[in-house]
């Protein structure tokens, strides 16, 4: 599990924003990343409290649906989704803000292991797809990533492991897929078929970007889920493997 900074983050969310369901395990920040070109990651979503605190990320996969981590679940009336965002504290005129009218947590989600850490959120209206807002491609069912394949993880989380303050602008880092056996040896066999690992020395996701996208060659392969420490090559970040859940995702996209 994450250490002191994560505990502080979880406490802040629970005690001050009244979000009772936030896990004590999530990743929340991009370590070793850089500010992205504004609106270049058009699928990036900021999940926020009604007061504008960005507590999780997500990905727009359909004009009405967001894909995120199940441990980001909070009561619907406490959250909103903002797409077309770059700077959190500036109204740039391209943002689209939505209420969430339905959430679908994977029926086999385990909060204690974060297995099946995946959730769908339905928007109250379709997003307007334009130069600033767009969807990301989903992987084919059970498609496999190559070891050492480079991917991009993004979010508004903390950028310095020694400070806890969210980045104002959207950040991204390029990291590499870690062999499953290697990652499992680091985590004592806790990596399931619905997970994979990725990292690069000094680069990682961590407290604040839970639920955010990990995109490889333009395809949403991972969801920021959990890990131990931040930017530490001994403990790579763990991501939900989206390809495993493609039939479950498609069922809700096309029938609801």
User: Assign residue 39 a region: left if phi > 0, alpha if psi is -120 to 50, beta otherwise?
Assistant: left
pTM attached to this predicted model = 0.86
Identify the pLDDT of residue 208: 55
Identify the pLDDT of residue 235: 85
Identify the pLDDT of residue 144: 96
Q: Which residues are catalytic?
A: 71, 117, 210
Integer Cα distance of 78 and 247 in angstroms: 29
Residues (pLDDT < 70) of the chain are: 1-32, 158-166, 201-208, 229-233
Q: Where do the domains of the chain lie, and which CATH numbers do they carry?
A: 44-135+246-255 (2.40.10.10), 136-242 (2.40.10.10)
């Amino acid at each position: 599990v994450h250490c002191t900074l994560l505990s502080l983050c979880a406490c802040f969310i629970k005690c001050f924003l009244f979000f009772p369901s936030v896990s004590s395990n999530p990743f929340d920040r991009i370590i070793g990343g850089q500010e992205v070109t504004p609106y270049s990651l058009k699928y990036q979503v900021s999940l926020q409290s009604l007061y504008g605190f960005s507590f999780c990320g997500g990905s727009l996969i359909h004009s009405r649906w967001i894909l995120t981590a199940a441990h980001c679940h909070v009561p619907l009336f406490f959250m909103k989704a903002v797409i077309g965002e770059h700077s959190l504290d500036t109204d740039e005129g391209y943002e689209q803000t939505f209420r969430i009218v339905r959430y679908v947590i994977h029926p086999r989600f385990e909060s204690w292991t974060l297995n099946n850490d995946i959730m769908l959120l339905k928007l109250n209206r379709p997003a307007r797809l334009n130069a600033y807002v767009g969807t990301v491609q989903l992987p084919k069912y059970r498609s496999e990533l190559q070891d050492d394949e480079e991917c991009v993880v993004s979010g508004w989380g903390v950028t310095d492991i020694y400070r806890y303050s969210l980045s104002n602008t959207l950040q991204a880092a390029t990291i590499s897929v870690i062999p499953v056996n290697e990652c499992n040896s680091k985590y004592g066999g806790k990596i399931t078929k619905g997970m994979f690992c990725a990292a690069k020395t000094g680069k990682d996701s961590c407290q604040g970007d839970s639920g955010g996208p990990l995109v490889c060659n333009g395809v949403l392969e991972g969801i920021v889920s959990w890990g131990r420490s931040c930017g530490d090559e001994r403990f790579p970040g763990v991501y939900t493997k989206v390809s495993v859940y493609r039939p479950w995702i498609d069922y809700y996209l096309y029938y609801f």
